[in-house]
Every structure is written in C-alpha cells, then in structure tokens.
Structure 1
Amino acid sequence: MRPLKLFSLDAGADFALDVATALGVPLAAHEEREFVDGEHKLRPLDDVEGADVYLVQSLYSDRASSVDDKLVRMLFFVGALKDAGAARVTAVIPYLCYARKDRRTKLHDPLSSRYLASLFEALGTDCVVTLDVHNLAAFENAFRIRTLHLPAQPLFVDFVAERLQGDGNPLVVASPDVGGVKRAEALRQALGERLGGEVGRAFVEKYRSGDELSGGVLVGDVDGASVVIVDDLIAGGGTVRRATESLKRGGAARILVLASHGQFCGSALADLAQLPIDVLAVTNSLPQPVGTQLQIVDCAPLLAEAIRRLHHGGPATQLSV
C-alpha cells in the first residue's frame, strides 16, 4: 500500500493537526516562503514520491490573508506535490469557497463554482473532499474528478440529542429559508429515529436581492416547541435573525441554531448574541474566536475517517449519506 502523507498550509495547521491526531499520523513537513514582492513558494519537505497525499485546508478570508491567497497557495502546492511524484493528491477542503455562486441569476453572471473545479482539475487534483457544500448537485456536477461530500448531520444529531436531554417540549426542525428545506428534512428524520419520537417541520419564507433580505412568513406549528434551525452557513447572520424572530412570534419556547460553517462576517456574532437563541453551534471547519457563547461541534474525526477510508480503498461513499 502507498504511504499516506497528510499536509496542511500554515493557515490551516491548527485544524489539520486535529485531523492528524484523529487519524493517528503526523503532519508532513513543508516550506512556505514569502518574498519581498508579495509572491511566495511552497514545497513539500517530506518525500511524497509514490505516496497517497491529503492536503487539508479550508478556503476563507481572515485578517492574515484573503480567500484568493489561500486558494492560489493551495493550487500551487497541489501542483508541487504532483511534480514531486505523488501518486494521488486529495484536496480536503472542509469549507469550499465560491460554492454559493453555482448558477446564473442575472445576465452574464459567472459560474464561479465550475471555474474553481476547473482550476483543481488543471493542477492534477485526483479527489476533492468537502463538508456540507452549499448546493450538492452543483458541486457534484461542477467537477470531472472524484468528489466526496460529507454531511455534518450525524454530528448535529449527536449534539442535539445531548442538549435536549430532559427537555419535555415538542421538537421541531426548521429551515431558515425554502432552499434549505431538504437539509432540514434530513436532520428531522434522523433526529426522529435517534430520539424515537415525532419531530415536526417548519420553514421561514425568505427572499434575497443582492444583500437585501425580505420575507419572514413562518410555515409550520412551533408553539411551545424546542426548535432546531439548521443551515449550511452563517455569514452576516441576517437569515438566522429573520428566522429567529419569526419562530419567536410563532411561540417557540427554545431555539437552537446549528450551521455547518460559521463565517460570522463583521458584527454578525455579536448581533446574534442579542437574539433569544438558547444554543448557537457551528463546526470547526472555520477557525472561531474564543471567549464567546458559541459552541463548537468537532468535525475533525469525520474528516479523518474519510481520509482513512479513501486511503484503504473504502467504503468512503457511505459517509456521504
């Protein structure tokens, strides 16, 4: 069997170390060098010839570097790994950038998710693994290489079941918009099986034009219920705010908000802290601030298991359902 090599760029080293610990392998060494003109170079320091290589890196913006900088570095490093003789390179991207621009809504709109896929394919990437992408069908159709999509749902089922111990209220799973109804329904069914009881459903009407949100009509009965809002991403927080206000008007007793990815742009996290939300939880697919009421659901073991199964020849696809 080919040796397994696990790499990360400097920006994602903390999370990648959690994945490495769960996987039981060390992070492989690499060099990341900056030049005075703003350019950079990356190269593996471990020997990767003939190896099965996994590169773990979420793609996002922060104060240190832009999403585009992280993307270019990752692409260049994939190319360097292939040039160094890696037999297979898998890009493990817990948060995949540009996944929200997956269709044309205005004249001459770009299809950024497809262009992103073409870049990874051009550099010789053999497989892309991600967590709860925005639009699964668009993600799968954009790539011409193998993809593995990991839902955070099993992690959220465990999280909610633990938080609701001793809760005597009816349970409802709500989508904050119509587009997320399928995701919410999958969680609703899984929670019903786990808890052995009836779980209600609801969703909140939402319309978006540019950065402006409207709507807010609640569909479903939440009076006296503990309501779980589930979404793939919290960025500005406007969608969650509208959903929370609608659910409270509908009589919800408790509100738990779950999101696979927490961007929390600007003052979003502070604004959400002012809402009547009992629990706000995201995975650690993106780095999060300490010292807040935000609760973290660890997705590193899930990604480690995906890497383990891919390396040993399966069954990895079972993790995608």
Structure 2
Amino acid sequence: MPTITEPKLISGNANKPLATAIARRMSMHRGMNVDLVDARVERFNDQEIFVECYENVRGEDMFIIQPTSNPANDNLMELLIITDALKRSSAGRITAVIPYFGYARQDRRTKARTPISAKLVANLIAEAGVDRVLTMDLHAAQIQGFFDMPVDNLYAAPIFALDIKHHFKGATDDIMVVSPDVGGVARARELAKRIDAPLSIVDKRREKPGEVAEMTVIGSVEGKKCIIVDDLCDTAGTLCKAAEHLMDAGASEVHAYISHGVMSGPAVERVKNSHLKTLVLTDSIQPTDAVMATPNIRIVPTAPMFTQAILNTWNGTSVSSLFEDNTLVPIYEGLYNT
C-alpha cells in the first residue's frame, strides 16, 4: 500500500464555503497548495444522488466535510454515498467531518413507539464505511456512544470565549452567562468558567415541541449584559422569548452565542425584531443570504479549529488539546487580537 503523505479533503454540497476555507487554511499550515479532491456530487432528474471522484484515493487518508443540515436527508445521503465511493476506491481511512450532526435531537425515546433516530444515523454512517467521526457540539454528548468507532466532539465554547473577550473588552465584569434551559447548564457553565462570569438559568416549561408555555429567570440579572449560550437555534422562538424575559428581569442588554444556526421558518424575522442585540452563530451550517443580511446576526468561523483538528487526526496527535486557550488562541491569531 502506498505511504500516506498528506490528508485529502472532499466535500459534499452541504457547506462548500466551510470546506473551501478549511482547504485554504490547510494550505497555509502545510506550506503547499491543498485543494478539495476533484469530484462531482450531483443529482439525476429523479433526485437520486450520484458521486464520481476524479482523483486517485487508493490508500489515502480521506476527510469528508459534510454537515447533515437542511435538507438533512439529502445531505446525509450525500455523506453516505461519498463514503461508499471512497471505500470502493480503496481509500486507506475515511473520517466524516460533520460540523453539525443532524437528527441529534432524537437521541432517546421520549414517548412510546418513537424512534432513536440518532442511533440509526450512527449505524448508517458506520455501515457505509466511515472509520471515525469529527463533529462539534453534539446536542447530547452521549451520542458519541452510539458509534462503534472513535468520535471527536469539538466545542464552540473556546471560540465563543475568545469572541466575548474581544468584543466585551473592559466590560467583562458586567457579563452574566445564561442557560436557556436546565438541560443546557453544563454547556453554559463551561463558557462561564472560561470568561470568569456568573451563571443564570431561564427555566422553561413546554406544552409541546416548539412551543414554550412558561419561563422563569433563576438568578439576578439586574443591570447585567446577558449572554445566552445554546447548541442550536431552530425557529428562534425560545431564544427570543428568553431574551424578552431577561430584559423584563432588568438585564441591560441580551446577546446570544449559538453553535448551530439551523434558522428555519420564521427564525430570521424573529431575531431581527427581538430584544437580542446580537446573535452570534458559527458557520457549521452554511448561513443563508437572509441570515447574512440580518444586522444583529454575526458569524464566527470554525475553519481554523476544524483544520487543526483534521491535521491532529491525520498525524496522530491530541484533538482535545484544542479545548485549551494556549492551543486555540494561536490558530485564531489575527481574528481576535487582544
């Protein structure tokens, strides 16, 4: 088998700008031109997905960059079919880089006769031929256990901490980190610890999925710059309602840091007309034109972190080192000069 010399990147259609940004940064790191593998991922007239790889991948260390965001089923099938194409072309190792892992909210049976779809998707990915998974901010950390293969789950919190220290320089004493529900306390606590800020909780009670019946703010937010932190924003109903309750409780301003901007349905309009001063999203999901045009929404890049994680996976060094500031700060140098 040929010696593996360089990692090779291939992308589906889910988030080409992120894949291109990763390739560009890898070129900087490697001191040589790194392009996405030349391939076509297209659809026949009946919407069947077809993949053809124009480069030799025999024995190579392949990284497929493909979030399974909207349309989730199409993007998932692209990931599976690209994997099958690489496997049948004798790729040495296949790593699925899934910045946003769709179906993660279906991680347990909440009622009788319902599926655990996250486990099903994990089985499909394994059966297709993926050898390991690299993702970010899984909705539930235990989803890693659904895979019988190595799973590296990166966190957006270190990037958010850098962004907050940069944009709130000199005002960090007034910050209050807020979890939008009890289930997200661990995530909010992690960010609060990184920026040395107190923690508050918005306790919510749902009547049914997507609708919040009642909210209660736990902790004093009087005069505070509140930062809501969560893993995803779908229709933004809960987020905007939480911002309204925080302002009613005396907060001076409300910001939100969300790992995955699903932003479906009325989300953009809700955020635009809400009490949120800023909503910060990562580019794990390709932002729509409407999201990009909204004045109080800002995107932070994940390409520097994913690039380093891919390189660490390729050369067999620690991926968890990216959780530490002394490792992360240098790769974001220039973006967050403090």
What is the aligned-residue identity percentage? 32
Q: Decide which of 119, 130, 135 is 1:125's aligned counterpart.
A: 130
> After superposition, where does 1:1-321 map in structure 2 within 5 Å?
2=4, 3-24=6-27, 25-61=34-70, 66-137=71-142, 139-167=143-171, 170-192=174-196, 199-208=197-206, 209-288=208-287, 289=289, 290-293=292-295, 294-319=297-322
Q: What amino acid sits opposite 1:49 in the alignment?
A: R
- Residue-by-residue CA offset, 1:243-262 (whole Å, 9 max, x unaligned): 11221111101211110011
Q: CA deviation at 1:169?
A: 5.6
List gaps (5 residues or longer) in structure 1. 193-198
Q: 1:168 to 1:22 in 2, by over 3 A?
A: closer
CA contact (8 A) 1:206 1:214 kept: yes
* Structure-1 separation of matches of 2:114 and 2:63: 33
Computed over aligned residues only, the root mean square deviation of the Cα atoms, in angstroms, reads: 1.4
CA distance in 2, matches of 1:238, 1:40: 34
Aligned partner of 2:204: which letter? Answer: K
Runs of 4+ in 1 over 4 A off after TM superposition: none
How many residues are paired up?
310
Given that residues 169 and 226 in structure 1 are in contact (C-alpha distance below 8 angstroms), is that contact kept between their aligned partners in structure 2?
Answer: no
TM-score of the two chains, using structure 2 as the length reference: 0.88
Distance 2:323 2:126 in 1: 21
Contact 2:136 2:154 in 1 (8 A): yes
What amino acid is the match of 1:280?
L
**Distance (whole Å) between structure 1 residues aligned to residue 270 and residue 121 of structure 2:** 32
The alpha carbon displacement at 1:168 in A equals 7.0
Following the alignment from structure 1 to structure 2, what is the Cα–Cα distance between the partners of residues 172 and 4? 42
Q: Distance in 1 between matches of 2:130 and 2:260?
A: 24
Task: Provide the secondary structure at the position in 1 that maps to 2:198.
Answer: strand
User: Is residue 52–residue 311 contact of structure 1 (8 Å, CA) maintained in 2?
Assistant: yes
Deviations 1:15-67 (A, max 9, x none): 10011111112111112243233323102211110000000011112xxxx31
